[in-house]
């Protein structure tokens, strides 16, 4: 069972996440020949104040813009 994990900040709609899951599953199936029902995809949303790049949280970077 392949597992594709996506970590992102919140803000995408349920429809956008559903499309993402479909597209990732389709890409994996095309690349490997796996059966779609064997492909698992998880989407984990991480708050912008819990994710950092270069020592700054994404929330702090957004506030600086």
pLDDT digit string, tens, across residues 43-63 = 999 999 999 999 999 999 999
Which residues participate in catalysis according to the annotation?
2
Q: What is the pLDDT of residue 34?
A: 98
Q: How many Å apart are CA 54 and CA 40, to the nearest integer?
A: 31
Its pTM surpasses 0.85: yes
Ordered structural domains, the chain, with CATH: 3-64 (3.30.429.10)
Strand locations in 1-65, DSSP E? 3-8, 40-45, 52-53, 56-57
Q: What is the pLDDT of residue 22?
A: 98
Q: What is the pLDDT of residue 48?
A: 96
What is the percent of the chain with per-residue pLDDT over 90, rounded to a whole number? 100
Please give the C-alpha separations between residue 61 and each of 6, 15, 28, 46, 50, in angstroms, as whole numbers. 21, 27, 33, 15, 12
């Amino acid at each position: 069972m392949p597992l594709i994990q996506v970590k992102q900040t919140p803000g995408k709609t349920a429809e956008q996440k559903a499309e993402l899951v479909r597209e990732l599953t389709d890409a994996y199936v095309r690349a490997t020949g796996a059966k779609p029902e064997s492909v698992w995809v998880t989407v984990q949303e991480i708050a912008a104040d819990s994710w950092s790049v270069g020592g700054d949280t994404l929330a702090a970077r957004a506030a600086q813009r």
